[in-house]
Amino acid sequence: MRAALQSEIGQDKLEVVEDMEAVGFGPGKVRLRIKATGLCHSDLSAMSGVLPQPAPFIPGHEGSGEITDVGDGVTQLKIGDRVLVCWLPPCGHCPSCKRGQGHLCLEAFGNVATPNFRRAGHEIFGFAGTGTFAEEVVVPAGCAIPIPDDLPHDIAALIGCGVTTGLGAAINTAKVEAGSSVAVIGCGGVGISVIQGAKVQGAAQIVAVDPVASRREAALRFGATEAVAPDAFGDAKNRITAGEGFDYVFEVVGKSATTQTAYEMTRRGGSVVVVGAGALDDTYSINMFSLFFDEKKILPSMYGGGDVLRSYDRTIALWRAGRVDLAGLITHRVRLGEINDALDQMRTGVALRTCIEL
């Protein structure tokens, strides 16, 4: 089957190959025919080495498809079921899951170090234990979450990562209060989802901050009340909050420098919400006086910061009610053979999300 392969960390192009094999099928596993997959910024970060990932590997962790085979002991899924891929599936019984924090469950993360594919006798990993830039994947049954018939695969794929991450940061982690002021640094697919989450929560002002003009225009369509380039952020803060700072500032880049900006733009007692996935060697530090005296809350938010299965259901309900626009996030579409175009669209910032159709 066809798949997009990265041979070594640091390469910026993928090789589309025809002779990939999905391996590991057996008890507790399911085989999926991937129909659509989104390109998430984390895929680029894994390719460049910012996020740890063994190689060679197949990127992609935001996917949706159909079950084609079910291993022994899997009772909740059957052949033909439409499912989205959950790259960090909650096991349901560990201490994190019992607390309702299934997004912190590490039970399935052992998959990350287990090869998911084979080609010409060589073992090949799948990003985050999945690897959805492939026509076929084998994953633990818990990674395959059934979706309703009215939810298209391209939208379901986005719910598998970017949309859940962004909406959840605003709704679960920050619990944005109605009438509050919000700023969002970084307005790709995840940042736009934060904006939509803040709008759902009833924020009064939502300021989008991004260096790319097309993203600022998109942010306004999705609910931002104002969109500025980074060098105009300080002026916007002074004008909108009378110099005090925003109630919530979301960092959706994953860098210490933008986290520092977020911290400075947050009012005393407000919340800095860190949504971006950063590097092991990028350290954020803060002086102890400010940490105490300004009482700004630093709230990291991974994968939506809550029970992911509940978050999926809530997202689907909001989408059906027309309260969030998910189709509009897909600004570009390519076939797997054009995957390198998708990478360029993401790197230059012209795409909110590129959907790869398989």
Name the minimum Å distance from CB 43 to Zn ion.
Answer: 7
Beta carbon nearer to Zn ion, 38 or 270: 38
**CB neighbourhood size of 214 (10 A):** 15
Options 45-53, 160-168, 200-208, 319-327: segment touching Zn ion (CB under 5 A)? 160-168
- When the beta carbons of 161 and 334 are compared against Zn ion, the nearer one is 161
Separation in Å, CA 347 to CA 44, 61, 159, 222, 344: 8, 18, 21, 21, 5
- Does the N-terminal peptide bond of residue 152 adopt cis geometry, omega within 30 degrees of 0? no
280-316 exposure pattern, b = at least 16 Cβ within 10 A, e = fewer: eeeeeeeeeeeeeeeebebbebbbbbbbbbebbebbb
Q: Which of residues 331-350 bind Zn ion (CB under 5 A)?
A: none
Q: How far apart are CA 50 and CA 59, in angstroms?
A: 14
Could you say which residues in the range 79-98 bind Zn ion, by CB under 5 A? 91, 94, 97
Distance in Å, CB of 42 to Zn ion, minimum: 4
- What is the rounded CA–CA span in Å between residue 306 and residue 170? 11
Which residue matches tokens 């940490």? Answer: 291
From the list 38-46, 139-147, 217-225, 343-351, the region that binds Zn ion by CB under 5 A is 38-46
Q: Does 104 bind Zn ion (CB under 5 A)?
A: no
Task: Name which position in 42, 101, 173, 193 contacts Zn ion (CB under 5 A).
Answer: 42
Q: Of 13-21, 115-123, 154-162, 288-296, which part binds Zn ion (CB under 5 A)?
A: 154-162
Cα(112)–Cα(238) distance, integer angstroms:
45
* Binding region for Zn ion (CB under 5 A) out of 48-56, 70-78, 101-109, 167-175: 101-109
Q: Which CB sits closer to Zn ion, 129 or 245?
A: 129
At closest approach, how far in Å is the CB of 30 from Zn ion?
Answer: 19
CB of 52 to Zn ion, least distance (A): 15
Span interacting with Zn ion, options 155-163, 172-180, 193-201, 311-319, rule CB under 5 A: 155-163
Strands 57-58 and 122-126: parallel
Amino acid at 132: T
Query: Can residue 161 be called a binding residue for Zn ion (CB under 5 A)?
Result: yes
Query: 17: buried, middle or exposed (CB in 10 Å: 19+, 13-18, 0-12)?
Result: middle
Nearer to Zn ion, 42 or 301 (CB): 42
Nearest residue (CB) to Zn ion, 91 versus 232: 91
With respect to Zn ion, which residue has the nearer C-beta, 56 or 166?
166
Whole-number minimum distance, CB 164 to Zn ion, in Å?
9
In the complex, least distance from residue 258 CB atom to Zn ion, rounded to whole angstroms: 18
As measured in angstroms, the least distance from the Cβ of 120 to Zn ion is: 29
Binding residue count for Zn ion, defined by CB under 5 A:
8
* Residue 40 is a binding residue for Zn ion (CB under 5 A): yes
Shortest distance, CB of residue 15 to Zn ion, whole angstroms?
Answer: 22
Instruction: Return the number of the residue (92 or 230) whose C-beta is nearest Zn ion.
Output: 92
For Zn ion, the closer CB: 85 or 227? 85
Q: Positive or negative CA dihedral for 202, 204, 210, 216?
A: positive
Cα–Cα distance list, 58 to 15, 38, 114, 163, 352 (Å): 10, 14, 13, 22, 22
Between residues 91 and 298, which has the closer beta carbon with respect to Zn ion? 91
CA atoms within 13 A on the CB side of 117: 33
The answer to whether residue 107 forms part of the interface with Zn ion (CB under 5 A) is yes
Give whichever of 118 and 310 is closer to Zn ion, judged by the CB atom.
310
Residues within the interface to Zn ion (CB under 5 A): 40, 42, 91, 94, 97, 105, 107, 161
